[in-house]
Structure 1
Amino acid sequence: MATITAAMVKDLRESTGAGMMDCKAALTESGGDMQAAQDWLRKKGLSKAAKKAGRVAADGLISALTKGTKGVLVEVNSETDFVARNDQFQGLVKMIAQVALEVGADVEKIKSAKVGSVTVETAIADAIATIGENMTLRRAASLEVGNGLVSSYVHNAVVEGAGKIGVIVALESTGKIDELAVLGRQLAMHVAAAKPFALDPAGLDPALVKREKDVLADKYRQQGKPENVIEKIVESGLKTYYKEVCLLDQAFIHDNAKSVAQALKEAEGRIGAPVKIAGFTNFALGEGVEKPSEENA
């Protein structure tokens, strides 16, 4: 039998909003599997959060940089937030973003690219030696369109263009660039706030959709609903789920009375041409990376 620690119960409680005893029961039932425990709570109607991203557990900066039809995000991690506020580190991150804008999002290509007489990898090593803290170029992403532009937004900016959350959104259009830029900025801010998983249902991971269907079906099955009724409820539940996680279906944060798709259509009148969201990328600092806890450090 898996050992259920107080830390595990605390983490589950923070990610679901469920009570402590319910969290402990969920972890016991699931053998300590955190995701299974979350599903168990949802099936029992005890979870207050349908989705919760992993806790941010790494420091550093995310830089968003755009130039016309191209845009990039890079995440450079440091050991402490103190270093993220260091001028040398901030300059390093901006330089890496500029390189990524030229060579693309492949981390190894970025590290081997030259800036002056040294490679980016050497520049990182030099910064480590000077500042005295480990740093790493963790990831990068890029978007590009033929016609239109790529817009960006940085939330909790520590310095211009770099902070804790970075978004780039690519818009394809032959319309007015100034109006397109206004829409692109609004959409990038929306992505940072609403954190969509995909543009539309077709872009969702099939495994994610199956998991959602299974959770919904099991929840109502436990309530004694007949299978033919459950099927209809699940389909209705999926539509609600899509409104939560698909960008075009989400309520637009700048006007909750409209979906993003409706806001996009309305904006076409100002822009003077059709507009298509060609892609978007959202980086949150340290997502998926866990620092050692004090008891394990």
Structure 2
Amino acid sequence: MAITASQVKELREKTGAGMMDCKKALTECDGDMAKAVDWLREKGMSKAEKKAGRIAAEGLTRVAAQGNHAVIFEVNSETDFVAKNEQFLHVLDVLQASLLETKPASLEEALKVSTPEGTVEEVITNATATIGEKISFRRIDVVEKKDDEIFGTYMHMGGKISAVVVLKGTQDAQIAKNIAMQVASMSPVYVSQSEIPSDVVEHERELQMQMMQNDSKMAGKPEKVLQGILKGKVDKHFKDLCLNDQEYFLEPKQKVSQFLKENGAEAVCFVRYQAGEGIEKKEENFAEEVMSQIKG
């Protein structure tokens, strides 16, 4: 039977698949729209499997809060271009609403969460098929606060970096957002030095001590002086890793802890995601890539 342009357009809008694929699907399925959707999914899922070994190091993060819970998660793509398209952003919208509602405790639980478009895992698989790149759901954290605490959230560059903080002692949304911006921009690892594991501190002490022993300027200094210098070096190293010890980005002469104290606030915890951090990007040979597509 003859396949009309309007049928192809409708199927393309439903699936996001290419025009020629849509036409072929309708032809194979005698114009049956529902069967054509399934045909494309089967074909697309096969493509998705071929892409399973690809490295998805681009993408976006998302953060959202509702009531006493906030969710922050990351979805990756192979290219930055895809991370900006409407289909990819739609995937994040679909996932955000369902993840915020269900509050999964782990990545494994998150993949099984139901959305209006299937489970999270199915949404990701279908996105890989229709978008044409490997899409992956990488990680998720659910943050909980008490009734008298407040969330601050911030997304930089549409989600290249996302941060959520919990403050107590204030209900000022602007202060909370400012601290979330501090976390996003300055990448702290701990709230304060009291959170740093003792083995991490000891490792840094040993490293600084070794460096001091190799420094001729330290020769002949009294032990008490050396211990003071050592403490100063260790404290300086951890200064930028601790939120409270960092310079406040809106007032560099002031520490974050001072800004919070002036406003009767205290940082409880935070989570920061940067899209693609820690993923080793593979150098692609574009000539080989083009040839593999032709042969495929």
Tell me the TM-score normalized by structure 1: 0.70
Note if contact 1:171-1:277 (Cα within 8 Å) is conserved in structure 2: yes
Note if contact 2:99-2:113 (Cα within 8 Å) is conserved in structure 1: no
Match of 2:209 in 1: 217
> Could you list the runs of 4 or more consecutive aligned residues of structure 1 that deviate by over 4 angstroms after TM superposition?
none
Distance 2:249 2:113 in 1: 39
SS of 1:149 mapped into structure 2: strand
SS of 1:186 mapped into structure 2: helix
Match of 1:286 in 2: 276
Match of 1:171 in 2: 167
**Structure 1 runs not aligned, ≥5 long:** 1-56, 158-162, 269-274
Structure 1 window deviating more from structure 2 (214-223 vs 97-106): it is 97-106
Match of 1:11 in 2: none
State the Cα distance separating 1:284 from its structure 2 match.
1.0
Match of 1:201 in 2: 193
SS of 2:233 mapped into structure 1: helix
Report how many aligned residue pairs link the two structures: 225
Distance 1:84 1:117 in 2: 19
Note if contact 2:191-2:268 (Cα within 8 Å) is conserved in structure 1: no
Offset from partner CA, 1:51-100 (integer Å, 9 cap, x none): xxxxxx81011111112432121110111111101111111112222222
1:233 and 2:229 are equivalent in the alignment = yes
- 1:100-179 correspondence runs (5 A): 100-104=99-103, 105-116=105-116, 118-147=118-147, 148-157=149-158, 163-173=159-169, 175=170, 177=171
Offset from partner CA, 1:86-143 (integer Å, 9 cap, x none): 1111111122222222232511111101113621111111111111111111001121
Distance 1:116 1:164 in 2: 26
Distance 1:79 1:58 in 2: 6
Note if contact 1:152-1:167 (Cα within 8 Å) is conserved in structure 2: yes
Offset from partner CA, 1:210-247 (integer Å, 9 cap, x none): 33222211111001435824322110112222322111
Match of 1:277 among 267, 270, 289: 267
SS of 1:128 mapped into structure 2: helix
Note if contact 1:155-1:166 (Cα within 8 Å) is conserved in structure 2: yes
Structure 1 window deviating more from structure 2 (72-81 vs 96-105): it is 96-105
**Structure 2 runs not aligned, ≥5 long:** 1-55, 289-296
- 1:21-40 correspondence runs (5 A): none
Distance 2:107 2:156 in 1: 23
Tell me the TM-score normalized by structure 2: 0.71
State the Cα distance separating 1:208 from its structure 2 match.
3.0
1:69 and 2:68 are equivalent in the alignment = yes
RMSD value over aligned CA atoms? 2.0
SS of 2:61 mapped into structure 1: strand
Match of 1:26 in 2: none
Note if contact 2:166-2:269 (Cα within 8 Å) is conserved in structure 1: yes
State the Cα distance separating 1:170 from its structure 2 match.
1.0
SS of 1:170 mapped into structure 2: strand
Q: Residue type of the partner of 1:206? A: S
Distance 1:286 1:117 in 2: 25
Note if contact 1:153-1:185 (Cα within 8 Å) is conserved in structure 2: yes
State the Cα distance separating 1:186 from its structure 2 match.
0.4
Distance 1:218 1:60 in 2: 41
Distance 1:117 1:245 in 2: 41
Match of 1:249 among 245, 248, 253: 245
Match of 2:255 among 237, 259, 269: 259
Distance 1:281 1:101 in 2: 16
Match of 1:99 in 2: 98
How many percent of aligned residue pairs carry the same amino acid?
A: 31
- 1:170-189 correspondence runs (5 A): 170-173=166-169, 175=170, 177=171, 180-189=172-181
